[in-house]
Amino acid sequence: MKYVILGNGPAGVSALKAIREVDQAGDITVVSPETWRYYSKILLTHWIAGKVRFPDLFLVDEDFYEMNGAKTVFGAAATRIDPARKAVELSNRQRLGYDRLLLAMGSSPQVPDVRGIRLPGVHYLRTFDDAERIAQATSSARRAVVIGGGLVSLKTAEGLLARGLEVWVVVSSGRLLSQITAPEDAAAVLRIFKEAPGLHILLNCDVTRVEGRGRVERVLLSTGQRIECDIVVVGKGVTPNLLCTRGTGIATGRGVIVNDRMETSVPGIYAAGDLAEGFDIARGSAAVNALWSSAVWQGRVAGYNMAGRDVTYAGDVAMNSVTFRGGCIVALGKTRPADGDEVYTLTTRRSDDSDYARLVFRGSRLAGAVLIGRAVETAGVLRSLIARRSDVARIKGDLLRGRMSYPCMVKDVAGLCALVAS
């Protein structure tokens, strides 16, 4: 059996391991335009900050592919899939035949439509090469502008601050982390970032222009403000890499549409990770959840099925976390309530008000939560209640009194925060 895996991230590598578990003899080829072995994207901003050593970024040894009997084509991207001939064309003009193909090419950063956005000194953070360029730029830079107030932008801002830069985070929306929290969380979220020395958060404004002679020197904002800066990092979200699915008959929506075996609409072709629409338990529907854990799990399910073991993907619950200078925010499942959902906001009576939880219930089930401060200790338990679709009617009172351990006995967090329901 010939397997081709497009992508060397968590989805691709998990699939490779799963295939090998089932089929020790099959021919496996992993393709990636990057030349590095499998590494952690989650650690990239910590590496920029100088808190993680270069070798610690890597998640497998150098001989990993060889030990797993897999060939690699690194430094080349898939450019075209030909399902009729069961072949993939690569940017280096190679053509690979397959019996089973996995699409695990992840996503790419969105490029905002802003004049000057292509000037040298404007960066994106998706790969190790991107991180290296940013780290290099920080050695001579003093002032940075980060465009976007999402998870990657805020992590990047923390990395740049750790390098001693003064950082402006420019956010279109009126709040930070707007994709994973709700308007009512805005003040509690902002409190985590507000007092950081060297960090300026500018809400409700856009970068309208990037200027400089030959490279970035300043940005202009929709408010009329000008910020002199040496680098700009754009974090305005990502788009699934669907280019080579065009004209193939592979059904796509926001991402590649898959069934619970991670099969696409074209026989023999599977998809997993950031480019796939996997089942989201909290929403009760398919969604592109750009999460490391979903990519690992989906890749594994795809790999097993590609190799002939029948396994289904039960779905995942989105869990995003951001730590910033000792503060922590976790967003779980469905954080924006729909009609009929019940919402409870819990805050501490402590003067700094730093512990916060907002729980979203749908009927007798927990659907989502935003947790800040010591409330994040309960994230694992709450995630598991959402993932198992547990009937929480019996323990709802405990949850709302802050006894969010499962089943309210593992560890009593109520004493931590004299929580009050509002």
Ligand X SMILES: Cc1cc2nc3c(=O)[nH]c(=O)nc-3n(C[C@H](O)[C@H](O)[C@H](O)COP(=O)(O)OP(=O)(O)OC[C@H]3O[C@@H](n4cnc5c(N)ncnc54)[C@H](O)[C@@H]3O)c2cc1C
77 forms part of the interface with ligand X (CB under 6 A): yes
CA distances in angstroms from 149 to 16, 82, 169, 200, 313, listed in the order given: 34, 39, 7, 12, 31
Which of these ranges, 34-42, 160-168, 351-359, 404-412, lies near ligand X under the rule CB under 6 A? 34-42
Residues in Cβ contact with 77 at an 8 Å cutoff, skipping those fewer than 6 apart: 31, 32, 33, 90, 91, 105
State the DSSP code for 316: B
CB of 210 to ligand X, least distance (A): 21
419 forms part of the interface with ligand X (CB under 6 A): no
Residues in Cβ contact with 102 at an 8 Å cutoff, skipping those fewer than 6 apart: 3, 4, 5, 6, 7, 11, 12, 15, 269, 270, 271, 272, 299, 302, 303, 306
373 forms part of the interface with ligand X (CB under 6 A): no
242 forms part of the interface with ligand X (CB under 6 A): no
State the DSSP code for 350: S
332 forms part of the interface with ligand X (CB under 6 A): no
CA distances in angstroms from 309 to 76, 77, 82, 97, 272, listed in the order given: 30, 28, 25, 22, 16
In contact, 209 and 219? CB cutoff 8 Å: yes
CB of 370 to ligand X, least distance (A): 16
CB of 347 to ligand X, least distance (A): 25
- Alpha-carbon 227 to chain mean position: 29
Q: Which is nearer to ligand X, 152 or 346 (CB)?
A: 152
Q: Which is nearer to ligand X, 322 or 385 (CB)?
A: 322
31 forms part of the interface with ligand X (CB under 6 A): yes
Q: Which is nearer to ligand X, 7 or 148 (CB)?
A: 7
**16, 18, 28, 44: which one binds ligand X (CB under 6 A):** 44
Residue 213 CB-density burial (10 A; 0-12 exposed, 13-18 middle, 19+ buried): exposed
**1, 58, 257, 292: which one binds ligand X (CB under 6 A):** 292
Contact characters 249-288, ligand X, x per CB under 6 A: ------------------------xx--------------
Q: In the range 7-26, which residues lie near ligand X by CB under 6 A?
A: 7-12
34 forms part of the interface with ligand X (CB under 6 A): yes
153 forms part of the interface with ligand X (CB under 6 A): no
Structure tokens at 78: 């898939």
Identify the sign of the CA torsion 269, 275, 276, 277: negative
Q: Which is nearer to ligand X, 210 or 328 (CB)?
A: 328
125 forms part of the interface with ligand X (CB under 6 A): yes
| Rounded Cα–Cα distance for residues 234 and 147 (Å) | 5
- ∠ CA 239-240-241, nearest 5°, is 115
Report long-range pairs for 79-85 (Cβ below 8 Å, ≥24 apart).
79/244, 80/244, 81/244, 81/245, 81/248, 81/250, 81/269, 82/248, 83/248, 83/249, 83/250, 83/266, 83/268, 83/269
Q: Which residues are 324's β-sheet partners? A: 327
59 forms part of the interface with ligand X (CB under 6 A): no
37 forms part of the interface with ligand X (CB under 6 A): no
**126, 309, 388, 401: which one binds ligand X (CB under 6 A):** 126
**241, 252, 348, 378: which one binds ligand X (CB under 6 A):** 241
How many residues interact with ligand X (rule CB under 6 A)? 33
CB of 201 to ligand X, least distance (A): 19
The residue at minimum Cβ distance from ligand X is 273
Residues in Cβ contact with 198 at an 8 Å cutoff, skipping those fewer than 6 apart: 161, 165, 166, 167
CB of 325 to ligand X, least distance (A): 16
CB of 395 to ligand X, least distance (A): 27
302 forms part of the interface with ligand X (CB under 6 A): no
| Rounded Cα–Cα distance for residues 380 and 362 (Å) | 19
Q: Which is nearer to ligand X, 125 or 367 (CB)?
A: 125
**18, 70, 101, 104: which one binds ligand X (CB under 6 A):** 104
| Rounded Cα–Cα distance for residues 204 and 173 (Å) | 5
Q: Which is nearer to ligand X, 154 or 216 (CB)?
A: 154
159 forms part of the interface with ligand X (CB under 6 A): no
**19, 20, 32, 263: which one binds ligand X (CB under 6 A):** 32
33 forms part of the interface with ligand X (CB under 6 A): yes
240 forms part of the interface with ligand X (CB under 6 A): no
In contact, 269 and 252? CB cutoff 8 Å: no
**Which residues make up the interface to ligand X (CB under 6 A)?**
6-12, 31-34, 41-42, 44-45, 77-78, 104-106, 125-126, 152, 155, 241, 244, 273-274, 290-293, 295
